[in-house]
């Protein structure tokens, strides 16, 4: 084997891998190999990684891999000096025994050195450890990489053949994601002898199951892997390359009929993991199915068949769709006809469900919700509907009076009824969406139908908010009912565990309040939610409010506000979150003022002084006791500035409110330079604390400015 660096290729050839896990498995396999080889010195920071993942292989190529790692200087700690050497400095039997165990003798004694080790000194032996060979290093790294793979579900299978005295055909078990049938390990053109999963490494792999030109494919060199697999094996080995080829073919096929494929990254990834040699073909279904809501048709085509529906220029679903085949026949007609035949019963089922569901109104289904269990401790979906109605009526009243309250109530009555329909039974992802269609069919108003359709929104980060006012009200009520109910029975998210997606519900509440600018106070909303339940503890209420503020802080930081800015605004526990963007913008503008740093520091100092003398700070300010010029000047400046700042705050101009405070910088600085707050005279001391309390109040209307102090 050459002593220089060459590319190393490792491939595991396996039975069809789980498609939704393939991309992650490929990346994890390559990363583990690269990191393991670097840790052993067989590769370095310049060693690049190329990952390959196809339905039947996990592979990685690492560049600049050494045949032997460089020798490494190591310092071995032997024992404390007091144990290793006697009072005359001669080696003790314990030291000689230790050296013998390391293959050394008394001849190395002059090379030993002393090194501080806590309160004592230790004897150290400097040695050179020979670098590991690639065969030995890769054996270790490959075993670790396989053990660390994020396998969704491990299979156990028996080996039919193998080496070694312990091997028993049909009895020796292997645990892996799928049965493995081949192992390649090439350093340049040379095979690296390693074993894994009962396999011995070689240079042979297999190409496409049906269309390979050569079988097996005998790999000549680590660098020829993709080219040989493509030319001889009819396989595009790279996940990214295969995905790009599918995207290219989808776009070309859609353009040929002046349509565009639906945009779905997850579907693209899944299809890329299902085919080794993609060939896109154009198919169609009967136009009669277009009478079914497009969401149903799109979902059944994507989820069940892995097809790409085609949309027209207005984004409407058409009766054409694209399939990605794993074979490339000269005549594609039979493949197209087969897929058109397969999709027809799927679409017919959707049409049947849609037609059947519309024979019963949503309202007529509502009583049955009493038979559907929601949660063992929280009753049925029927109970839940009544609680959501209660909360929705209260929020609707606050936001739009009786009319909105009644509209939200009607939508809340109907919102969960589609859970009992055949369509949602088949496709749970369509809950809400189908409710909207059925509400319109039943003659409900458009506002109610929209609210039923939208009340689960936002369902994920980046999802749209509900469109109408009634939709916002019912969505808020639905999320608050879930939060209050589950917090009330102690089902609080911990660490990574959040089985009821309560963080997502909280995020939805935050987005609606802020983005829609809703004039609602969060503690009142939480109270309203808990009042809908028969019993709720004060502890659960406090815990939910704390949880919402924590999620709020994280959300605001994700929007680009600094930790200090967010802390300053949330320290005051503002109740109306709609005004938070204005407060944060005001704090950012204030922080940019030249006076900001000094005022923030002074504010922190004032806060600390008042904390120590809370009782005295409650006194009223007596102007006749302002004996020092600096305290009289501060009181005068405060009397001039505070009304301006308060008036700006009252009209919602938070920036103007904070910027008015800049005029206080000099009087505040002068006060702390010239005035002793803790004067011996109790009346003077009380009066000065009262002045500082007024100053603190005036400065902290918009945010706690002390949080901006560095």
Q: How confident is the model over 347-359, as pLDDT tens digits?
A: 999 999 999 999 9
User: Sign of the C-alpha dihedral, residues 131, 133, 134, 136?
Assistant: negative
Q: Answer whether residue 572 is part of any domain.
A: no
- Residue 167 CA to its chain's centroid (Å): 45
Q: Which of 245, 265, 242 is nearest to 253 (CA)?
A: 245
Backbone angles phi, psi at 85, to 5 degrees: -125, 140
Q: Are residues 103 and 189 in the same domain?
A: no
Instruction: Single out the residue of 549, 607, 556, 550 nearest to residue 585, CA to CA.
Output: 556
What are the pLDDT digits (tens) for 49-102? 999 999 999 999 999 999 888 888 888 888 888 888 888 888 888 888 888 888
Mean pLDDT score, 500-514: 94
Residue at 13 is within a domain: yes
**Whose CA is closest to 258, among 298, 324, 318?**
318
* Averaged pLDDT for residues 628-655: 90
Stretch 389-397: mean pLDDT, rounded? 96
Residues 6+ apart with CB under 8 A from 290: 297, 317, 318, 319
Looking up tokens 């894994």 gives 196
Cα-trace Rg, the chain? 36
- 326-352 mean pLDDT: 92
**What mean pLDDT is predicted for residues 132-149?**
91
- CA 371 to mean position of chain CA atoms: 36
Surface-to-core class of residue 535, CB atoms within 10 Å of its CB (0-12 exposed, 13-18 middle, 19+ buried): exposed
- Region 562-575: mean pLDDT is 92
Check residue 160 and give its pLDDT. Answer: 64
CB 476 within 8 A of CB 451: no
Task: Classify residue 405: in a domain, yes or no.
Answer: yes
Which run of H or of E encompasses 242?
helix 239-255
288: tokens are 């009669």
CA distance linking residue 165 with residue 533, whole number of Å: 68
Same domain? 539 vs 444: yes
Long-range contacts of 392-400, Cβ-Cβ distance < 8 Å, separation of 24 or more: 392/473, 392/474, 392/476, 392/477, 394/528, 395/473, 395/476, 395/477, 395/520, 395/525, 395/528, 396/470, 396/473, 398/519, 398/520, 399/469, 399/472, 399/473, 399/518, 399/519, 399/520, 400/469
| Average of per-residue pLDDT across 541-549 | 94
Instruction: Return the pLDDT at 109.
Output: 79
3-state SS track over 580-612: HHHHHHHHHHHHCCCCHHHHHHHHHHHHHHHHH
Which of 336, 357, 378 finishes a domain? 357
Whether residues 160 and 220 fall in one domain:
yes
* 555 shares its domain with 662: no
Report pLDDT digits (tens) over 214-246.
Answer: 989 999 999 999 999 999 999 999 999 999 999
Highest mean pLDDT among 79-93, 162-176, 362-376: 362-376
Residue 156 shares a structural domain with residue 60? yes
Same domain, yes or no: 650 and 663: yes
Q: Give domain status of residue 581, yes or no.
A: no
- Residue at 50 is within a domain: yes
Share of the chain above pLDDT 90, in %: 59
Could you tell me the sign of the dihedral formed by the alpha carbons of 93, 98, 103, 107, in that order? negative
Of 233, 268, 283, the one marking the end of a domain is 233
241 inside domain: no
Q: In CATH, what number is assigned to the domain containing residue 673?
A: 1.10.730
447 pLDDT exceeds 80?
A: yes
What confidence score (pLDDT) does residue 617 get?
52
Q: Domain for residue 1, yes or no?
A: no
pLDDT at 165 over 60: no
Strands (E) located in 277-329: 279-284, 308-311, 317-325
DSSP code string of 345-360: HHHHHHHHHHHHHTTS
- For 7-33, how does the pLDDT look when each residue is reduced to its tens digit (9 = 90+)? 999 999 999 999 989 999 999 999 999
| Domain co-membership, 296 together with 435 | no
Mean pLDDT, residues 179-194? 93
Dig out the tokens for 309 from the structure.
């529906």
pLDDT at 123: 85
Q: How far apart are CA 205 and CA 177, in angstroms?
A: 19
Whether residue 3 is predicted with pLDDT greater than 70 in this model: the reply is: no
- State the pLDDT at residue 614: 65
Question: What's the mean pLDDT in 579-605?
Answer: 88
User: Average of pLDDT values for 293-308?
Assistant: 92
Please check whether residues 203 and 257 belong to one and the same domain: no
**Final residue belonging to a domain, choices 206, 233, 260:** 233
- 178 pLDDT exceeds 70? yes
List pLDDT tens digits, range 244-292. Answer: 999 999 999 999 999 999 999 999 999 999 999 999 999 999 999 999 9
Q: Are residues 162 and 78 in the same domain?
A: no
Output DSSP code: residue 284: E
| Same-domain check for residues 439 and 554 | yes
342 and 469 within one domain: no
- Percent of the chain surpassing pLDDT 70: 96
Separation CA 506–CA 502 (nearest Å): 6
Contact 321, 285 (CB under 8 A): yes
pLDDT of amino acid 616:
53
Residue 600 lies in a domain: yes
- pTM score, two decimals? 0.79
pLDDT given for residue 594 in this prediction: 87
What H or E segment, with its residue span, contains residue 669?
helix 665-674
Structural domain count, the chain:
5
Share the mean pLDDT of the chain. 90
In which domain, by residue range, is 645 found? 591-708
Residues linked to residue 75 through DSSP beta bridges, in sequence order: 126
Span 595-606, average pLDDT: 86
Rounded to an integer, what distance in angstroms lies between the CA atom of residue 137 and that of residue 67? 10
Say whether both 62 and 184 belong to one domain.
yes
472 pLDDT more than 50: yes
Range of 97-106, 183-192, 485-494 with top mean pLDDT? 183-192
- Tell me what the mean pLDDT of segment 415-435 comes to: 95
pLDDT of 1 reads 37
228 Cβ contact partners less than 8 Å away, ≥ 6 residues apart: 217, 219, 220
């Amino acid at each position: 084997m050459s002593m220089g660096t060459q590319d190393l290729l490792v491939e595991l050839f396996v039975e069809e891998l789980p498609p939704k896990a393939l991309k992650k498995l490929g990346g994890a396999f390559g990363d583990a190999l690269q990191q393991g080889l670097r840790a052993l010195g067989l590769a370095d920071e310049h060693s690049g990684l190329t990952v390959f993942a196809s339905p039947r292989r996990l592979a990685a190529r690492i560049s600049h891999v050494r045949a032997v790692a460089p020798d490494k200087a190591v310092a071995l700690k032997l024992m404390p000096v007091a144990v290793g050497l006697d009072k005359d400095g001669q080696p003790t039997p314990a030291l000689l025994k230790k050296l013998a165990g390391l293959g050394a003798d008394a001849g190395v004694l002059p090379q030993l050195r002393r090194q501080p080790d806590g309160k004592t000194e230790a004897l150290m032996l400097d040695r050179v450890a020979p670098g590991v060979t690639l065969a030995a290093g890769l054996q270790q790294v490959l075993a670790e990489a396989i053990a660390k793979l994020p396998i969704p579900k491990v299979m156990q299978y028996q080996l039919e053949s193998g080496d070694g005295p312990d091997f028993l055909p049909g009895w020796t078990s292997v645990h892996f994601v799928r049965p493995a049938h081949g192992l390649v390990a090439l350093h340049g053109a040379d095979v690296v002898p390693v074993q894994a999963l009962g396999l011995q490494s070689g240079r042979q792999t297999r190409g496409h199951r049906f269309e390979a030109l050569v079988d097996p494919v005998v790999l000549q060199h680590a660098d020829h892997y993709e080219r040989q697999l493509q030319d001889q094996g009819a396989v595009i080995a790279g996940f990214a390359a295969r995905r790009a080829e599918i995207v290219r073919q989808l776009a070309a096929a859609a353009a040929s009929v002046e349509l565009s494929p639906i945009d779905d990254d997850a579907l693209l990834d899944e299809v890329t993991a299902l085919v080794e040699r993609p060939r896109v073909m154009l198919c169609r279904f009967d136009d009669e199915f277009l009478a079914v809501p497009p969401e149903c048709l799109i979902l059944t085509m994507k989820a069940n068949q892995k097809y790409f529906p085609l949309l027209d220029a207005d984004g409407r679903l058409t009766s054409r769709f694209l399939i990605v085949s794993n074979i490339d026949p000269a005549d594609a007609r039979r493949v197209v006809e087969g897929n058109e035949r397969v999709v027809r019963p799927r679409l017919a089922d959707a049409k049947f469900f849609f037609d059947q569901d519309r024979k019963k109104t949503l309202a007529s289904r509502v009583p049955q919700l009493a038979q559907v269990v929601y949660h063992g401790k929280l009753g049925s979906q029927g109970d839940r509907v009544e609680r959501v109605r209660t909360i929705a009526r209260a929020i609707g009243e606050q936001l739009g009076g009786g009319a909105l309250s009644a509209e939200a109530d009607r939508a809340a009555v109907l919102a969960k009824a589609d859970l009992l329909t055949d369509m949602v039974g088949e496709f749970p992802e369509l809950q809400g969406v189908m409710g909207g269609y059925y509400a319109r069919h039943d003659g409900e108003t458009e506002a109610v139908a929209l609210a039923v359709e939208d009340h689960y929104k936002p369902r994920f980060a980046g999802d749209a908010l509900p469109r109408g006012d009634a939709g916002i009200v019912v969505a808020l009520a639905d999320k608050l009912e879930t939060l209050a109910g589950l917090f009330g029975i102690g089902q609080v998210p911990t660490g990574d565990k959040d089985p009821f997606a309560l963080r997502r519900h909280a995020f939805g509440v935050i987005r609606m309040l802020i983005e829609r600018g809703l004039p609602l106070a969060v503690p009142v909303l939480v109270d309203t939610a808990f009042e809908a339940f028969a019993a709720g503890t004060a502890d659960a209420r406090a815990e939910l409010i704390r949880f919402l503020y924590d999620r709020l802080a994280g959300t605001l930081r994700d929007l680009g506000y600094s930790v200090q800015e967010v802390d300053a605004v949330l320290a005051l526990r503002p109740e109306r979150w709609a005004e938070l963007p204005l407060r944060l913008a005001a704090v950012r503008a204030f922080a940019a003022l030249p006076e900001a740093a000094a005022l923030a520091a002074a504010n922190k100092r004032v806060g600390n002084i008042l904390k120590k003398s809370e009782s005295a700070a409650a006194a009223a300010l007596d102007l006749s006791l302002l004996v020092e010029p600096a305290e009289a000047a501060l009181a005068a400046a405060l009397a001039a500035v505070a009304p301006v700042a308060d008036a700006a705050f009252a009209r919602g101009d938070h920036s103007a409110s904070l910027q008015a405070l800049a005029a206080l910088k000099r009087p505040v600085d002068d006060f702390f330079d010239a005035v002793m707050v803790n004067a011996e005279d109790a009346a003077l001391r009380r009066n000065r604390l009262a002045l500082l309390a007024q100053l603190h109040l005036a400065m902290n209307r918009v945010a706690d400015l002390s949080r901006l102090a560095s």
